[in-house]
Amino acid sequence: AVLGHFGQQELLFKILVVGDYGVGKTAIVRRYTEGKFSSNYKTTIGADFAVRSIDWDSHTKINLQLWDIAGHERFGYMTRVYYKYAVAAALVFDISRIATFRSVKKWLSNLRETVTLPDGSKIPIVLLANKCDIKEPSIPNEQIIKFCKENEIGSWFLTSAKENMNINEAMHYLVVNVLKSK
Ligand code: GTP
Ligand code: MG
């Protein structure tokens, strides 16, 4: 932590956003950092990052650095270099595509194997069931809840980058848990 002018402390949290291609990782990051959404799909190459600063309380400013990791198979192991020093992660799937939910397990073990906090403990992870604005047969909540219990995922949210649903809430959850783990 850096103590700035007037005793303000400024923290930097690196947060990963992972999951299969096309689930909406870039859309979530863009919604959260720029307040925008586009229905055009341009796949992410390698990784990207964007920052949003939040005035957490009267003496704490938090800079959230969101790392938007390419979901495509072909970037596989290469993208793991971006995991270093991350303190939390959002694991995203597309509620309208069951295959992306099946992949969550793979992304999770990938994260658990690659990144831990400096003291060796697990980083907080939140599961995001994105595109909840799409009204189509989707994955039942009970199945998601069961998965979270079995895999020690603290919380999950139905999100929509398009309709701006629960994105702020999910990031807030992560920040609270990063602060707890400090
Ligand atoms: P990769 O970069 O290839 O790993 O994919 P990504 O996870 O970054 O997906 P991206 O954010 O580019 O979104 C893929 C497509 O889904 C785009 O056409 C988005 O506009 C659309 N999309 C993203 N989020 C939502 C959402 O909440 N609702 C709906 N309806 N569409 C969404
Ligand atoms: Mg992307």
pLDDT one-digit tens code per residue, 158-175: 999 999 999 999 999 999
The residue whose CA is least distant from atom 1 of ligand 1 is 21
Task: Find the Cα–Cα–Cα–Cα dihedral 151, 109, 16, 173, rounded to 10°.
Answer: 10
Average pLDDT over residues 60-86: 90
Interatomic CA distance for residues 158 and 32, integer angstroms: 15
Would the pLDDT of 6 be above 70?
A: no
Q: At what angle do helices 25-34 and 167-181 cross, to 10 degrees?
A: 90
Percent of the chain with pLDDT over 70: 96
Average pLDDT over residues 128-136: 93
Instruction: Give the number of whichever ligand sits closest to the CA of residue 19.
Output: 1
Average pLDDT over residues 148-161: 96
- Whether 72 contacts 39, CB under 8 Å: no
85 confidence band (pLDDT: 50, 70, 90): very high
Instruction: Give the number of whichever ligand sits closest to the CA of residue 75.
Output: 1
- Whether 13 contacts 63, CB under 8 Å: yes
**DSSP-based three-state secondary structure for 75:** helix
Considering only CA atoms, which of 52, 78, 81, 47 is closest in space to residue 64? 52
DSSP state of 166: S
- Whether 41 contacts 61, CB under 8 Å: no
Average pLDDT over residues 10-39: 97
pLDDT for the residue numbered 49? 95
The residue whose CA is least distant from atom 14 of ligand 1 is 22
> How many angstroms does the Cα of residue 153 sit away from the middle of ligand 2?
23
Round the average pLDDT of the chain to a whole number and report it: 93
SS3 letters for 94-143? ECCCHHHHHCHHHHHHHHHHHCCCCCCCCCCEEEEEECCCCCCCCCCHHH
Q: How far is CA 125 from the centre of its chain?
A: 7
Average pLDDT over residues 103-127: 95
The continuous run of DSSP H or E covering 172 comes out as helix 167-181
> How many angstroms does the Cα of residue 25 sit away from the middle of ligand 1?
6
Q: Which atom of ligand 1 is nearest to the CA of 24?
A: 11
User: What is the pTM (predicted TM-score) of this model?
Assistant: 0.95
Q: Which residue ranges have their beta carbon within 6 Å of ligand 1?
A: 21-27, 38-39, 41, 43-44, 70-72, 130-131, 133-134, 160-162
Interatomic CA distance for residues 22 and 7, integer angstroms: 43
73 confidence band (pLDDT: 50, 70, 90): confident
Q: Which atom of ligand 1 is nearest to the CA of 69?
A: 4
User: Cα–Cα distances in Å, from 107 out to 7, 18, 71, 112, 176?
Assistant: 40, 7, 10, 9, 23
> How many angstroms does the Cα of residue 6 sit away from the middle of ligand 1?
41
- What residues sit around ligand 2, an ion, with C-beta below 5 angstroms? 25-26, 44
pLDDT for the residue numbered 107? 95
